[in-house]
Amino acid sequence: MINPANRVKSVEMSQIRKMFEIASPTAISLGLGEPDFDTPIHIRQAVVDALEEGFTHYTSNKGIPELREAISNKLASENKVKSDPESILVTVGASEALYMSTQAFVNPGDEVLIPDPGFLSYAACVKLSEGIPVPIPLKKENDLRMTIEDVEDLINPHTKAIILNSPCNPTGSVMKKKDIKGIAKLADDNDMLIISDEIYEKIIYSDKGQNKVKHYSPGQFSENAITINGFSKTYAMTGFRIAYIAACEHLSEELLKVHQYNTACASSISQKAALTAIKGPQKCVDEMLAEFKRRRNLIVSRLNDMGWECKSPQGAFYVFLDVRDSQEFVKQALNNDVVVVSGAGFGKTSTNYVRMSYATSYENIETAMERLENVKF
C-alpha cells in the first residue's frame, strides 16, 4: 500500500462536509456558508456574452488586465490599500489564495498564528506547508473578536505569519480599527506576514444605537500584509470560483510562482463575470445584505426565545452559539432534521459551540427554529 505524505496525513477532512453525508433528504441545512441567492442577472449575462464572443481560452497567469485594474481601483478607494495591478493575482476562489500564501512563505517548522475559533482551512493550509498552526484563543467577553492583546504574547522568533479574518467565519465578529492597526504594527516590528482573509468584507451590519461597524484592511497600515478577497459571498458567485490576492511587488512575485504551477489561471468566463460584478451596479449587494440582516434578526430572536444566549453578530452570516455540549446538540438537531456544525472543527476553544448559517431562506430558518425547539438537554 502506498502511504500518503505526512503533511497530508496530518490534515482531517472537513467536518462541515461530513454532516451532509449523514443528513436525511428532508433536513434543513444551516451548515454551509453559501448564499442561497441567484447570481445577479447582469453578472450572469456577462458570462453569456463572453461565451458568445469565444472568450474561452487561457488568460494571463495574473488575470485579465482590466479586472486587475478594477480591483486595484476598488482597493484604493474602499480599503485605502495601494496595490499596483501588476501585483494583483486573480485566483480560483479565496481558497487558492490562502493556499498560495502559506505555500509561498511558510517553511517547515515556521509558526503561523490562527484565530481560534477560526475557519478550518487555516490550520489545514499551514499544515500542508509543513508549518505549525498556533491558535489564538479568542475570548467570550470580547464576543470572540481578536484583539491586539490576544496576539502580542504569542509572537516569538519562530512566528512567520498571522492569519486575520474580519468579518469572521464562524463567529460573525468584526475586528476594531485599533486592533487591526496594532497587529499591523506588530507585524512590521517583528518582520511577520499578515494574511488577511476579507471575503466577508461587504457583509457587515450596523444596528441603531451602536457605533458604526466598519471593515478595515491591514494592508492600509502595513506592506507586510497580503489581502485576500473575492466575489463568492458578496455577489452570490460561489460556483464561479473567482477571487483575488493583492500584495506588494516582492511578495506578489513569490505568490505567482505557486499560482502558475497550481492552476495556471482563473477561468476566463469567471473573470469576465467578476469584472461586471465589480464595475456594475451595486444595488444587488445592498438588497442581499438587507435580507441577510432580516434573517439574522430572526434566528437570533428565536434562539433567545428558546433560552439560548445568542448575541447579534456584526458581520458574515453565521451565529456561533454556546450550547454547552455541541456533540449532543448536533445529534439532537440532526434527529429533528436540522443540520448544524459542531464548533470542534473550528478550534479547541469552541468545542461547546455550534455554528448555524443563515445563508438560507427566511422560511427555512423559521422551520428550522421550530424543529430546534425539540432540542432539550
Secondary structure class of 133 (helix, strand, coil): strand
Alpha helices (runs of H) in 113-213, residue ranges in sequence order: 121-128, 148-152, 177-189
The CA distances from residue 346 to 120, 135, 277, 354, in Å, are 5, 10, 31, 10
Quick one: pLDDT at residue 13?
Answer: 75
Alpha helices (runs of H) in 106-248, residue ranges in sequence order: 121-128, 148-152, 177-189
> Would you state the cell numbers that stand for residue 290, as one nine-digit string?
438587507
pLDDT single digits (tens) 122-135: 999 999 999 999 99
The CA distances from residue 237 to 44, 186, 271, 284, in Å, are 10, 35, 11, 12
Instruction: Tell me the C-alpha distance between 62 and 325, whole Å.
Output: 46
Ranges of the chain with pLDDT below 70: 15-23, 208-211
Quick one: pLDDT at residue 308?
Answer: 95
- Domains, the chain, in order of start with CATH, read 6-39+283-372 (3.90.1150.10), 41-279 (3.40.640.10)
Quick one: pLDDT at residue 20?
Answer: 58
Quick one: pLDDT at residue 18?
Answer: 63
Quick one: pLDDT at residue 10?
Answer: 81
Quick one: pLDDT at residue 266?
Answer: 98
E-strand stretches of 155-267: 159-165, 193-197, 225-230, 243-246
Instruction: Tell me the C-alpha distance between 134 and 188, whole Å.
Output: 19
